[in-house]
Structure 1
């Protein structure tokens, strides 16, 4: 277990970053705008050689890199996949990223991989299992990781604690930090009819090493109530920007990622979203929410 007595540091600048997409490679080099760092999905760079790794090595000479994993199934009931963990350890070893993070979710059952990030009940048993997995990952890669709050669409009847209590408990037991996805907060609060501002006000900002912002799709459920889907396919909406401003007013400047993974726009559009995050960082720090 890592020491959890201090705030979670990362080597990322306290400025905006974006999720890297290969089609933006040349544009990023020529005109990054407000973008100060890049994030990659670990699973896209676990191979050997080829243009993707060559481009990543080149970018890593210019920008701090954050590695974000989506396939460890850290909340799964079974043991972590040893081969996947070995590939992750190899990637982190040669890339030496400024930050490494994973989702609080599960995506495996027996030997099957499910192409989704699924929620889990917040119980003492689940907390102990996730903490054990986090310890295993941190011991394997040799560095502290950040754990991201999920977007949720339902609540489990057997839940014994709040999501914030669950995340804080894992961080305190393992020494990991937290990744606060503000869009996920808004999506979950809307779907479960809770208050996103209260969530932000209660979140342990001293443990946060990175923030995520992204877009979502709006729908309705079978009863006609609002249903938001965390799609990463649209611009960040105004209520999420407002929630982000409230977060920064509480926490101060933090590395902030713009996520746009589906229906990816051209570089000027993505760069402009990062510019909006830069405006919030420049003007909201020190403002009382």
Structure 2
């Protein structure tokens, strides 16, 4: 990490869930095995109101992870300064335990695309993303975690594999990594690669957070399986198995259950968090 940055306090190595306002009362009154919460930064970048009041109350009870979904850190254009300023204000006000963003792009020619799109892994991309990470970390005054994307195609111009690309970004910028195990499984299935080999090559010592989420199963034009990172159903059994494989190599890490579409009741999220807690109980801290 750069000398002029302040590292985050770390999340506890237990299960967390993505917070949704409909779960506000349940989260405070019946947390169960849920030890921390994640919020999406863009939902809390306003000047006040109920969202920030709820967030303040939650932050008194739980460590909070802030997850950005709109900065387009992999985009060709410079980072949006207004977005960056509002993000820095949120981080300064909340003092969260973690901040993360995606290795992806979502803007082009001033338009925002409602998706997180993968990048070709080239030297030019590496330089651009590293510059954006430096800009972001300097703005928020602390280390960020960078999340691996879900992929549906491979770029012929790529000259780096994804784990090596991410490792080099940690070396150049001092950022940490957010390992989304579901994204690894989705990408490996879609690109016909080995998800365990990906984990073996990953810089697990740089991981500050692990994500799990559900995916939907479709087929492509040739009838082959096509997985979509939809966050709208329970974590699939093969992803739980890949988590076990990962934890055996990484040791215990904070694990987030993501569920952003067709959001279930609190008890369903608790059940997924309990399963993550069970997985953590088998590994060393």
Scaled by the length of structure 1, what TM-score is found?
0.96
What pairs with 1:226-237 in structure 2 (closer than 5 Å)?
Answer: 226-237=225-236
CA deviation map 1:170-210 (0-9, x unaligned): 11000000000000000000000000011111111111000
- Assess if the C-alpha contact under 8 Å between 2:189 and 2:225 holds in 1: yes
Cα distance, 1:285 vs structure 2: 3.7
1:91 is the counterpart of 2:93: no
Aligned residue number for residue 130 of structure 1: 129
- Assess if the C-alpha contact under 8 Å between 2:150 and 2:229 holds in 1: yes
Cα distance in structure 2, aligned partners of 1:9 and 1:145: 8
Scaled by the length of structure 2, what TM-score is found?
0.97
Cα distance in structure 2, aligned partners of 1:88 and 1:187: 29
Cα distance, 1:219 vs structure 2: 0.3
Aligned residue number for residue 110 of structure 1: 109
- Can you give the 5+ residue segments of structure 1 that lack an aligned partner in the other structure? none
Cα distance in structure 2, aligned partners of 1:114 and 1:104: 15
1:200 is the counterpart of 2:199: yes
Aligned residue number for residue 48 of structure 2: 49
What pairs with 1:211-250 in structure 2 (closer than 5 Å)?
Answer: 211-250=210-249
Cα distance, 1:2 vs structure 2: 1.8
CA deviation map 1:58-77 (0-9, x unaligned): 00000000000000000000
Cα distance, 1:48 vs structure 2: 1.1
- Assess if the C-alpha contact under 8 Å between 1:122 and 1:160 holds in 2: yes
- Assess if the C-alpha contact under 8 Å between 1:151 and 1:185 holds in 2: yes
SS in 2 for 1:97: coil
What pairs with 1:64-213 in structure 2 (closer than 5 Å)?
Answer: 64-213=63-212
Could you list the runs of 4 or more consecutive aligned residues of structure 1 that deviate by over 6 angstroms after TM superposition? none
Cα distance in structure 2, aligned partners of 1:104 and 1:253: 24
CA deviation map 1:157-177 (0-9, x unaligned): 100010011111111000000
Cα distance in structure 2, aligned partners of 1:210 and 1:2: 20
RMSD: 1.1
1:2 is the counterpart of 2:2: yes
What pairs with 1:250-261 in structure 2 (closer than 5 Å)?
Answer: 250-261=249-260
Aligned residue number for residue 262 of structure 1: 261
- Can you give the 5+ residue segments of structure 2 that lack an aligned partner in the other structure? none
Cα distance, 1:9 vs structure 2: 6.8
In structure 2, the CA distance between the partners of 1:9 and 1:283, relative to structure 1 (3 Å rule), is farther
Cα distance in structure 2, aligned partners of 1:36 and 1:198: 30
- Assess if the C-alpha contact under 8 Å between 2:163 and 2:202 holds in 1: yes
